[in-house]
Amino acid sequence: MVAPPEYAPEERDTWSEAEVRAFLTAAAPDRLHPGWRLSLYGLRRGEVLGLRWADIDLKARTLAFGHAISLPDAGSRTSGSECGHSVADQDRS
């Protein structure tokens, strides 16, 4: 039997609050600004791409996502998200 390699977690280099605000300010005129903002909330690229208007509840200020789009070389496909149906509270400043 082959022994698995040792796992040595490395500390991740993340942006500070000031860096996130500077990025969002710089990205504001970009047509993909909503996608950039959602990725900073933790959504994966496929989850952002798979969003539909029906997934957004403006009154409740929530975002539900249960499917994602992957972009393999041979075209795109839709699938369930990794963790199933999720709801994100968008009451963040």
What's the pLDDT score for residue 83?
46
Q: How high is the pLDDT of residue 84?
A: 46
For the chain, the domains span 32-89
pLDDT at res. 70: 79
Predicted local distance difference test score (pLDDT) of residue 12: 86
The alpha carbon torsion through 81, 86, 91, 93 (nearest 10 deg) reads -30
At residue 30, the pLDDT reads: 96
Q: Is 36 helix (H, G, I), strand (E, B) or coil?
A: helix
Q: What is the mean pLDDT of each run of 10 residues along the chain (93 residues)?
A: 89 93 96 93 88 91 83 55 47 45
- What pTM does this model have? 0.61
